[in-house]
Chain A
Amino acid sequence: MTTLVIDNTFDDPTRRAPLVLGHDRFGTVTEKICSISEARRPPRAWYIAFAISLAFASIFGVMILYLFATGVGVWGNQNPVMWGFPIVNFVFWIGIGHAGTLISAILFLFRQKWRTAINRFAEAMTIFAVICAGTFPGIHLGRVWVSYWIFPIPNQMEMWPQFRSPLLWDVFAVGTYFTVSLLFWYVGMLPDLATLRDRARTKVRAMAYGIFALGWRGSVRHWHRYERAYLILAALATPLVLSVHSVVSFDFAVAQVPGWHTTIFPPYFVAGAIFSGFAMVMTLAIPARQLWGLRDFITMRHLENMNKIILVTGSMVGYAYLMEFFTAWYSGSIYEWFAFANRAFGPYAWAYWIMVSCNVVIPQIFWFQWARRKIAVMFIVCLLVNLGMWFERFVIIVTSLAQDYLPSSWGYFTPTWVDLLTLAGSFGLFMTLFLLFCRYLPIIAMAEVKHIMPQANPHGHAGHEPGESEAGR
């Protein structure tokens, strides 16, 4: 038995840092991760969290029913701010999803092996976030009973969608994003569902996991195609994740409104999306790691790596904020310049400065190593980043619409209680789905974690130290 490393945060370029701590056999990995969903009862904290989440999810449902029964007048959306909370929430949630795809696809293509511990629930988070995101434009349509008009379905009116509209591109972008994320998540989970099936002690579990495992039996002939398929899906999801938030940003950039009509929007939105998504991954990973004792898999090194990404993307977002200002001034357009000066010093200055401090200033603490390795610090920073990124969308949408060209039609947006409860309710739905996922599905990709353990290297005995070639950064 080799000595097991318990600290992997060192930066020694001559040796690879181990990514799985405290396990030198595959069996203990399976045992540890399966025990989460095989436990007769989840921890008490799970029940409390689930009760609260379910209550909020119910509020979400009630608010939507109230909206359908009464009309969109229950919201604060009012001339001139016709895109209020629903579109802010839509952009916020769709952005959250991006980190999952980044971890599962882009880090996979870059051979970042530390992704294996976090990719499963980051992908789950993507799917649940896109479900929340998709709800908002759906209920924002007003006449929800004709929402099928957004799809090219042959109908008796001989009417088709208008394909030159960014709003319709959104339908295709978000629909494709959801489908591909779901496929990616499911394909990645196949081997682990088979593990749960093979370990099942009751008939119900064996049947349930057995059906979803599709009869997977780890055949190398299957693995061969599976690995190819996984690589192709990653290669497809990579441009997709960049395109989705670009298309969302077109909803704004293609319009003529000052403050929206800028070419910087697509990259700026994508950076912001990854930034907010990583903050949400951390917000979920830290409690999950504590609750189920997953410190061996989601190690300090993983958290530190994610904090570094938050620092980088947060700084990119900060750069975009500055560049927007510079371009507005440099363009010489008085409307453009007014829009930006008004954001920072006008009636919504409070929102703007919440955004800047949460997104740009506070993450700078991650330049310090102690901050990147302190659970309490990173958790608070990530919560603030979530808040700041919600306000970013609020600032972009509301300030631009509230005061555009004609001073006579200026206004001030105030959300109603329905707006606020719907937003809180969407968090309830998100958390409910996430907690159910934690309870019933393998929350860490077991097969992938085993694959990056030094013991998985079939050439381990052939001269070089085990772990030299297979443990990754």
Chain B
Amino acid sequence: MNDPTTTAAPTDRSSAAQPAIPREPGEVIGKLYGLLAEFETPAAIMVAAHRVREAGYKWWDCHTPFPVHGLDKAMGIRPTILPWLVMGAGLTGAVTGVVLQWYTNATNLDAWLIVPITGYDFLVSGKPMWSLPANIPVIFELTVLFSAIGCVTMMLLLSKLPWLYHPCLKNERFLRASDDRFFIVIEARDPLFYRRKSQEFLKSLGATAVEALEA
């Protein structure tokens, strides 16, 4: 890792499109997205996150290479509704399993599913047309399948992912958020955000570096 204070403009991936003006790290030419503060240990960001929350900021986030135990609570993140959505997906799967098997094997009803379809009374060894025990495996499998697909999809959508472009990802220093550093980002749109004041505040939390992020 280069020391950003001794090198010229950080050679990040956005630099190809930028004019070749030597810039200080964190110097913003375009619109300001927010401030980035770097911490070295999970304990340090834990304390800092408490203080940022107490200071009343709303538009801020922590970025860590792994889930730091208890940091979501320290930030005041409310429990996600994901489990309920997954339950909904699972129930949909169960109902699909029942209806699919009942319609295709135990009825002769006409219906329309993109193309005209017809159920078929499937008589097997004189057994009842519809008896639940034989249909449980497929109902179970579809419940799990729908829940799992729903779970992953909802998790990503609630997090607004995929989002390939993000101001944070342009910052050279931030790249260590997936390696071994811990970051707090306060966005400029926060009502309490003042460039100078917020910068001083972040420094006072024990950040090893504070930089501005370009939108």
Q: In the complex, are the beta carbons of B164 and A229 less than 8 A apart? A: no
Given A27-B179, A219-B159, A225-B155, A163 and B138 contact (CB-CB distance below 8 Å): yes
Q: In the complex, are the beta carbons of A220 and B155 less than 8 A apart? A: no
Binds B, one of A44-52, A192-200, A375-383, A396-404: A192-200
Q: In the complex, are the beta carbons of A191 and B65 less than 8 A apart? A: yes
Q: In the complex, are the beta carbons of B105 and A160 less than 8 A apart? A: yes
> In the assembly, what is the distance between CA of A26 and CA of B120, in Å?
61
Binds A, one of B2-10, B19-27, B75-83, B199-207: B75-83
Q: Quick one: which of A193-221 are within 8 Å of B by CB?
A: 194-195, 197-199, 203, 206, 210-211, 214-221
Q: In the complex, are the beta carbons of B152 and A229 less than 8 A apart? A: yes
Q: In the complex, are the beta carbons of B180 and A25 less than 8 A apart? A: yes
Whole-angstrom distance between the Cβ of B116 and the nearest chain A Cβ:
8
Q: Quick one: which of B103-153 are within 8 Å of A by CB?
A: 104-105, 113-115, 117-120, 122, 124, 127, 134-135, 137-138, 140-142, 144-145, 147-149, 151-152
Q: In the complex, are the beta carbons of B144 and A240 less than 8 A apart? A: yes
> In the assembly, what is the distance between CA of A225 and CA of B79, in Å?
8
> In the assembly, what is the distance between CA of A4 and CA of B80, in Å?
39
Q: In the complex, are the beta carbons of B100 and A223 less than 8 A apart? A: no
Q: In the complex, are the beta carbons of B77 and A232 less than 8 A apart? A: no
Give the dominant DSSP class at B's interface: helix
Q: In the complex, are the beta carbons of B104 and A225 less than 8 A apart? A: no
What residues of B have a CB within 8 angstroms of the CB of A169 in the complex? 137-138, 141
> In the assembly, what is the distance between CA of A164 and CA of B127, in Å?
10
Q: In the complex, are the beta carbons of A225 and B67 less than 8 A apart? A: no
Q: In the complex, are the beta carbons of B164 and A211 less than 8 A apart? A: yes
Most B Cβ at <10 Å: residue of A25, A179, A180, A186? A180
Give the dominant DSSP class at A's interface: helix
Chain A 3-38 interface mask (CB, 8 Å, partner B; 1/0)? 000000000000000000000011100100000000
Q: In the complex, are the beta carbons of B66 and A236 less than 8 A apart? A: no
Q: Which of B65, B71, B138 contacts A168 (CB 8 A)?
A: B138
Q: Quick one: which of A151-167 are within 8 Å of B by CB?
A: 152, 154, 158-164, 166
> In the assembly, what is the distance between CA of A173 and CA of B77, in Å?
37
Q: In the complex, are the beta carbons of A158 and B134 less than 8 A apart? A: no
> In the assembly, what is the distance between CA of A247 and CA of B119, in Å?
26
Q: In the complex, are the beta carbons of B117 and A225 less than 8 A apart? A: no
Q: In the complex, are the beta carbons of A159 and B120 less than 8 A apart? A: yes
What residues of B have a CB within 8 angstroms of the CB of A240 in the complex? 141, 144
What residues of B have a CB within 8 angstroms of the CB of A220 in the complex? 61-64, 67-68, 71-72, 75, 77
Q: Which of B62, B63, B68, B164 contacts A210 (CB 8 A)?
A: B164
Q: Which of B13, B67, B114, B165 contacts A215 (CB 8 A)?
A: B165
In the assembled complex, 21 residue pairs joining A and B whose CB atoms fall closer than 8 Å, in A order, are A26-B180, A154-B114, A159-B120, A162-B124, A163-B104, A164-B122, A164-B134, A169-B141, A172-B137, A176-B148, A179-B148, A191-B178, A217-B178, A218-B64, A219-B63, A219-B159, A221-B77, A222-B159, A243-B137, A447-B66, A459-B46
Which residues of chain A have a CB within 8 Å of any CB of chain B? 25-27, 30, 152, 154, 158-164, 166, 168-169, 172-173, 175-176, 179-180, 183-184, 186-187, 191, 194-195, 197-199, 203, 206, 210-211, 214-229, 232-233, 236-237, 239-240, 243, 247, 250, 446-448, 450-451, 455-461, 470
